[in-house]
Amino acid sequence: MKNQFVGDINDYYKYGLLRILSDFGKKKIGVCWMLTPDRTEYLDDPGRWRNFDRVLFDKLRRIVQARSVRRIQKVEILPKARFYNEPFKQGSRHRETYFDEMLREFAGVDLIFFDPDVGLAPSASKSKNRWLHYHELRKAFEMGHSVFVIQFPWFKKDWVRRQVKQILDATRATKIYVFRTLAVVFYLAAQRKHVDFFRRQAQEVKKRWGSQISVTPDPDRE
């Protein structure tokens, strides 16, 4: 996730789904931003950049500062949610520490949402901070949380089906729901204890969002 994307169409889908999947605050959720640097970092360094055009710099800085995940937290779009705000940096040591601390912070929550820049890593060799790895998803699931993750398209044949299989292999989840929009896909791996609840919430997604968000498998036919 980058602050510069706050409020885009994918955010609308994302928070709409999270609000329903939490039953508007009745279920405990944790949001792991996996927050990576924006391309607007120069605005945090006025000593280097401001003198070129002070008026422009100051105006852009005011505009950009309004787009922040912390503002999402303050306006309570997601009632009673917990948030993990630490920056997500490169390096295996940082990743391990990051996820250990996040899981401690989210002890007791029912659902953890992961918001990587791109989605689930296509291979174990991908170490960049744009990705979430399957073993990291598995670790959260093994701690008793249902897990929910955003994925941007690969544009390869059968990529959704293959990812569902990889999520199943990683988590051994009782049920996986796929929520698909025109731009992004969301995967929900449900703990056995949450299956009935999430089936009802998936029905609510269908009811509220209609053709904007397709749900697989169809909860009305299960």
DSSP string, 57-95: HHHHHHHHHT--HHHHHHTTSSTT-EEE--B--SSHHHH
pLDDT over 90 at 65, yes or no: no
Tokens encoding 71: 């503002």
What digits encode the pLDDT tens for the residues 100-145? 999 999 999 999 999 998 999 886 555 578 899 999 999 999 999 9
- Burial string for 137-171 (b: 16+ CB within 10 Å, else e) reads bbbbbeeebbbbbbbeebeeeeebeebbebbeebb
Q: What gap in Å lies between CA 148 and CA 66, rounded to an integer?
A: 27
Query: What are the φ and ψ backbone dihedral angles of 214, each rounded to 5 degrees?
Result: -85, 145
One-letter amino acid at 143 equals M
- Listed residue (142, 201, 143) closest to 177, CA to CA: 201
The boundaries of the domain holding residue 142 are 3-221
What digits encode the pLDDT tens for the residues 134-181? 999 999 999 999 999 999 987 777 899 999 999 999 999 999 999 999
Q: What gap in Å lies between CA 179 and CA 156, rounded to an integer?
A: 18
| Tally of domains in the chain | 1
- Listed residue (137, 135, 162, 165) closest to 149, CA to CA: 137
Q: Are 141 and 191 in contact (CB under 8 A)?
A: yes
Provide the 8-state DSSP code for 53.
Answer: -
Q: Rounded mean pLDDT of the chain?
A: 90
- Listed residue (78, 77, 156) closest to 119, CA to CA: 156
Percent of the chain with pLDDT over 70: 95
Which CATH number does the domain housing residue 167 bear?
A: 3.40.50
Q: What gap in Å lies between CA 217 and CA 47, rounded to an integer?
A: 54
pLDDT over 80 at 3, yes or no: no
Q: What gap in Å lies between CA 81 and CA 148, rounded to an integer?
A: 14
